[in-house]
Amino acid sequence: MPYFDQEFGEELDRVFKEKFDLLLGRKTYEIFAAYWPYYDENPPHGSIAKLFNEIKKYAVRARARSIRAGRARCSSATSPT
């Protein structure tokens, strides 16, 4: 990858060492859901796939509709939850 070097990798490692959850919009969630669960965790940079598969994800959408896939939850932007 032309924009990924050792220094950038070290910074990502530092940032991702702490526990975190992801808050995603519906479109971004759909992109993640279509990719990360199927990414091989064994290649040289596979640890990011393992991390993204393990963290909790929250998807926000304009209209309420339940999404429950693995560690993902969805709530409506207009709902109080």
**Could you tell me the CA-to-CA distances from 48 to 6, 14, 56, 67 in Å, in that order?**
15, 12, 14, 23
Residue 32, pLDDT above cutoff 70 = yes
The answer to whether 58 and 66 have CB atoms below 8 angstroms apart is no
Taking residues 10-27, report their average pLDDT: 87
- Residue 2 confidence (pLDDT): 66
pTM of the model: 0.56
Return mean pLDDT, the chain. Answer: 76
Give residue 2's identity as a one-letter amino acid code.
P
Min mean pLDDT across 13-22, 42-51, 61-70 is at 61-70
Give residues with Cβ within 8 angstroms of 37, minimum separation 6. Answer: 53, 70
Residue 80, pLDDT above cutoff 50 = no
62-73 pLDDT, tens digit each = 765 555 556 666
